[in-house]
Structure 1
Amino acid sequence: LKFPDGTPVDAHAIKWSLDRVVRLQGDPNWLVSAFLEEAEVVDDLTIKIKLQNPVGFFPYLTAVTPWMPVSPNCYSPDGFDSDSTCGGLGPYKIVRWERDVEMELEANPDYPLEPPKWPSIIVRYFADATTMRLALENGEIDVAWKTLLPTDYVDLEANPNVNVIESPGAYIRYICLNATTPPFDDVRVKQAISLAIDRDEISDRVFLGTHQPLYSMVPLGMEGHIDAFPKRDLERAKALLKEAGFSEANPLEMDLWWTPTHYGDTEADVATVIKANLEETGMIKVNLQSAEWATYTDNFGPGVMPVFLLGWYPDYLDPDNYTWSFAHSEAADDLGIFYSNPEMDALLEAAQTETDMEKRMELYKQIQELWVTECPTIPFTQGSLYVVTQKNITGVTLAPYMLFPYFLLERTE
């Protein structure tokens, strides 16, 4: 085995790659550094991985990008090159890349497994969904992926010239609440917000059925999921707000933050519907605030945003990836949530290190049940995956982990 530059893919390259991830401390290096104690070369074809603690989902981790080996002779050991075309060991190699314009891939002659069905792929980048849909309808592109608007999928379903392919997804949307900012340090207020949200309206009105209502941070279809959060109950929401000291004469005034472009053109509608849902209690007044993504994420650390919208694409398909980052005291600060609870920490740590799957799932049931009481975040929808192709394209395979294997695509003339 060898990388596109001819460097052998061996245990030395794997150790070098893992050590580099830890050393550079780039995001998301924690997928390695939080678990790896040491990587030791036994011989050219054997590497010994020593973990800091047992990890109940370790095989899933080894499939994520930071664990994938790269060439020590092509990548810098000391820095990042965000425009690198070095690539790794895969069915294709990168021939050309112009940032935010397009990338050209060519079949890798040194790939040891079955070669890709199509010898070359050009990946084009689009600034907005409208332009991408137009390119598809004009026959300029063969595949439209990530992401058209919900209205586009509805319209294109009726277009006889294209295929619309849907698959279950593991992408979730949720509200984050800064647990150190009053009154969101009061669980009654957070629970009231959860009870006031109309998840069905968000799914149907904003996402036109391309999302489903979600009642847990662990997504539908994943082992361990339970519908933990209760359905909408305005009367119960009002009662909790009243207990917390609010009324129609003394409403809770709050800012709800959202970001205009990162999640697409539907995000303004999501924020507007949630605002209307909360104000329907008669005890909450919502001011919508927005910031572009770079500023939005910069706001996490200082805790500028008391309540804000986020989405999560999985790093690995395990309940740990949907819970630890938001609710463990060592991780929640990074997302501007600042939540800390020793009981939650203990449950998350036990679930992460437990290797008996049945015991792990029982722990995640307890975690989800505690989540409803504590509300570090409030989940509201889960999105499906969609790809739209020309009629002569086959081999589309979608998996919940959000990656699209180009090497299976075929085109008939």
Structure 2
Amino acid sequence: MIVLVVAALFLPPASAVPLKEFNMPHIEDLYYLIIKDSDAQLLALEGGQIDLLGDIARFSDIKRLGDSDKVNLYLAEGFHAFYLGLNLRRPPWDRVELRQSIWEIVNRKQIVRDIFGGYALPLFSFLPPASPYLLELSIPDSNLERAKERLKRSGWRWNEKGILIYPGQTKPLSRMKLMTPMAQVAPTTAEIAERICESMRSLGIPIETEPMDFSMMIARLDQRKFDAYVIAWGLSRDPDNLYAFYHSSMDIIGGYNISGIKAPDLDEALEDLKYAKDEKEAYIASEKAQRLLYKYVPQVPIYSRYYITALQKEWENAVTSKYITPDNIYSFLSLEHKEDRKSFYWCLPEEPRNLNPLSATSAYDWQVLSLIYESLLGTDPFTLKDVPWLAKSWKIETVGDGGKERTRLSFIIREDIQWQDGKPFTADDVKATIEFIREHSIPRYFDSVKDVDDITVTGNVVAITFLERSFWYLHQIGGLPMLPAHVLSGINDWRTLPEEQIIGTGPFAFSSYKPGEYVKLHKNELYWRRVLP
């Protein structure tokens, strides 16, 4: 019944629109207003101070906005996944039976019922429910006694206060911390973290939450200075993100293997997935890798929820589908105000940690950067298929080299594109971007470029030859944000980028950032969609 009530609050997805119809933005000034408190965000939306509020999670907020005559609510499946992460590099999380027991005691179904009112799904898998590669095994309900029996069989004991004693040790476990964003910024996340800690304490694990600023939390994760944490990811349509999250080679400072899992058989399965030659091999390798992840439990999946966004009704032509709500590039190329207002206000729930596309990692950073920087390929919002973007076409070949098959990608680059500083965007910029990332082993993107063997440019064609053959190379290269060669050539430290060098090809350009108040972008008058093919 709750689901039916909730469904009635949302507008249905829009009908598909030919992508060639998207042109220059009508919005001239785009403000990201930094509002951290969830209640303040709602008041700002209801008072008209912001036009768009995304990532709405509390059921009470959804019901409240659903009753409003000023805003429309939108819902999409997306690829959201929320996890409990553990630092496997140190005791006690190095013991797999403890991780398996934590998996068993966290009552995900209860969390979804109590906190999300039925518009989220309990997650018992390492890929989100929307993924076509999902392998979801039959999982029994949470059971504390069964979890304790598993630990007893593995040599765990409890002291007189009920605190666990590590096998072979005499002293109980030391008190630990679970990092979580502040409650005023992410109230549902904070509540879930508290519930997880309660479950872990019932097993005899002495742990409590450690609320902190999100940027500080990300810095701690990057440096591997933590016991446990909770975090949500917006994953991609491809399952090769499993390689980035769980392959031992990705356990580097700033890398995505935050848990530090190292298992040779898992590495082998993930390599089979990364280098799958076709879709059939990809499905087989994906299933094998997921079965091993169920065995090792490097993270504990908790829930996957729908993306829910509110938009003021005075804005028209939002682009939505079963996969996306209005907070996407297609909407910002088409949104128009009924009374022709040219400024738009979007809520940013956290300070951007940095606006350097080479080192930015948080969703809040990329909420801003995604409208400044673009990639060679885009994704059709209605089908999730690849579409031309900075590249107007591409070709995939398999080439032989001494009997070894390798992939070669050839991208034909559009010749009518300029960087936001007026310099032309060319195939040389594509080459420079890939070579810079590879040369500096930049953690966020290194997995996408580490197999690149050779890059050649002929006119407006860039050909990239890889060391191996893989089904995923097209998306890995096609999804990289392109950066100007003339900016990259002057960078001494890729971790820092002056504001004047935030230069992309996207529909909006950087104007200013006032910490604690806003980030401002302005319309890119040189945007290439001003002239349609």
> When the two structures are superposed, what TM-score results if normalisation uses the length of structure 2?
0.51
- Identity, in percent, stands at 22
- 2:310 aligned residue: 388
- Asked if the contact 2:251/2:258 (under 8 Å) is kept, the reply is yes
Distance in 2, matches of 1:172 and 1:401, equals 15
Q: 1:377 to 1:172 in 2, by over 3 A?
A: same
Structure 2 residue 167 is the aligned partner of structure 1 residue 259: no
Q: Residues 394 and 302 of structure 1: is their aligned pair in 2 closer, same or farther, counting only changes over 3 Å?
A: closer
Give yes or no for contact 1:126–1:132 (8 Å, CA) kept in 2.
Answer: no
User: Equivalents in 1 of 2:223, 2:313: separation in Å?
Assistant: 50
| Residue of 182, 187, 190 corresponding to 2:99 | 190
Alignment-derived partner of residue 286 in structure 2:
364
Structure 2 unmatched runs, 5+: 1-18, 165-172, 340-533
Q: Is the counterpart of residue 246 in structure 1 residue 166 in structure 2?
A: no
Q: Measure, in 2, the Cα distance between the counterparts of 1:153 and 1:172.
A: 20
Shift of residue 229 of structure 1?
7.1
1:120 to 28, 36, 52: 28
Q: 1:101 — aligned with what? A: none
Structure 2 distance, partners of 1:116, 1:340, is 48
Native 8 Å contact 1:216 1:229 kept in 2: no
Cα shift at 1:112: 8.2
Q: Residues 124-273 of structure 1 correspond to what in structure 2 (within 5 A)?
A: 124-128=32-36, 129-147=38-56, 149-228=58-137, 230-231=139-140, 232-244=142-154, 245-247=156-158, 249=160, 250-252=162-164, 253=173, 255-261=176-182, 264-273=186-195
Counterpart check, 1:319 vs 2:227: no
Q: Which residue of 1 aligns with 2:231?
A: 310
Between stretches 184-193 and 148-157, larger displacement belongs to 148-157
Instruction: Measure how far apart 1:234 and its partner are.
Output: 2.4
- After TM superposition, the structure 1 stretch with the greater mean CA deviation from structure 2, 154-163 or 391-400, is 391-400
Structure 1 residue 303, shift from structure 2 partner? 3.6
Q: Distance in 2 between matches of 1:303 and 1:118?
A: 44
Preserved CA contact (<8 Å) 1:260 1:292 = yes
Offset, 1:147: 4.8
Counterpart code for 1:275: C
Residues 229, 373 of structure 1: alpha-carbon distance in 2 compared, 3 angstrom cutoff: farther
Paired with 1:117 and 1:331, the residues of 2 have a C-alpha distance of: 38
By how many angstroms is 1:274 displaced?
A: 0.8
Counterpart Cα distance in 1 of 2:22 and 2:107 = 48
Using the alignment, how far apart are the partners of 1:297 and 1:163 within structure 2? 33
* 1:15-94 pair list within 5 angstroms: none
Is the 8 Å Cα contact of residues 22 and 334 (structure 2) preserved in structure 1? no
Counterpart CA distance in 2 for 1:234 and 1:241 is: 11
Residues 45 and 52 in structure 2, CA contact (< 8 A), matched pair in contact too: yes
Distance 1:386 1:359 in 2: 35
C-alpha distance in 2 between matches for 1:124 and 1:255? 36
- Cα displacement (A) at 1:401: 7.2
> Secondary structure of 1:118's match?
coil
Structure 1, residues 39-94: CA drift from partner, whole Å, max 9, x if none? xxxxxxxxxxxxxxxxxxxxxxxxxxxxxxxxxxxxxxxxxxxxxxxxxxxxxxxx
Q: How far apart are 1:305 and its partner, in Å?
A: 1.6
Q: Distance in 2 between matches of 1:363 and 1:401?
A: 28
Assess if the C-alpha contact under 8 Å between 2:176 and 2:227 holds in 1. yes
Query: Is 1:287 paired with 2:214?
Result: no
CA shift, 1:196, in A, is 0.5
Number of aligned pairs? Answer: 300
What secondary structure, in the 3-state scheme, does the structure 2 residue paired with 1:139 have? coil
Instruction: Extract unaligned runs of 5+ from structure 1.
Output: 1-110
Q: Report deviation, 1:304.
A: 2.9
For the 8 Å contact 2:80–2:234, the answer to whether it is kept is yes
Distance 1:307 1:148, change over 3 A: closer
Say if 2:248 and 2:261, in contact at 8 Å, map to a contact too.
yes
Cα offset for 1:243?
2.3
Give the CA deviation at 1:349.
0.9
| Cα distance change on mapping 1:132 and 1:293 into 2, 3 Å | closer
Q: What's the secondary structure of 2:92's corresponding residue?
A: coil
Q: Could you tell me which residue of structure 2 aligns to residue 68 of structure 1?
A: none
**Aligned amino acid, residue 390 of structure 1:** Q
SS at match of 1:349: helix
Q: Determine if the alignment matches structure 1 residue 278 to structure 2 residue 200.
A: yes
Counterpart of 1:325, as a letter, is A
Q: Cα deviation per residue 1:342-380 (whole Å; 9 max; x = unaligned)?
A: 111111111111132122112111111111110111111
TM-superposed deviation, 1:222: 0.8
- After TM superposition, the structure 1 stretch with the greater mean CA deviation from structure 2, 400-409 or 157-166, is 400-409
Deviation track 1:170-209 (CA, whole Å, cap 9, x = no partner) reads: 1211011222212211110000000011112222323333
- Superposed CA deviations along residues 209-230 of structure 1, whole A, max 9, x for unmatched, are 3432111121111111022372
> Aligned partners of 2:211 and 2:53: how far apart in 1?
28
1:327 maps to amino acid:
Y
2-side partners of 1:305 and 1:378: how far apart?
Answer: 16
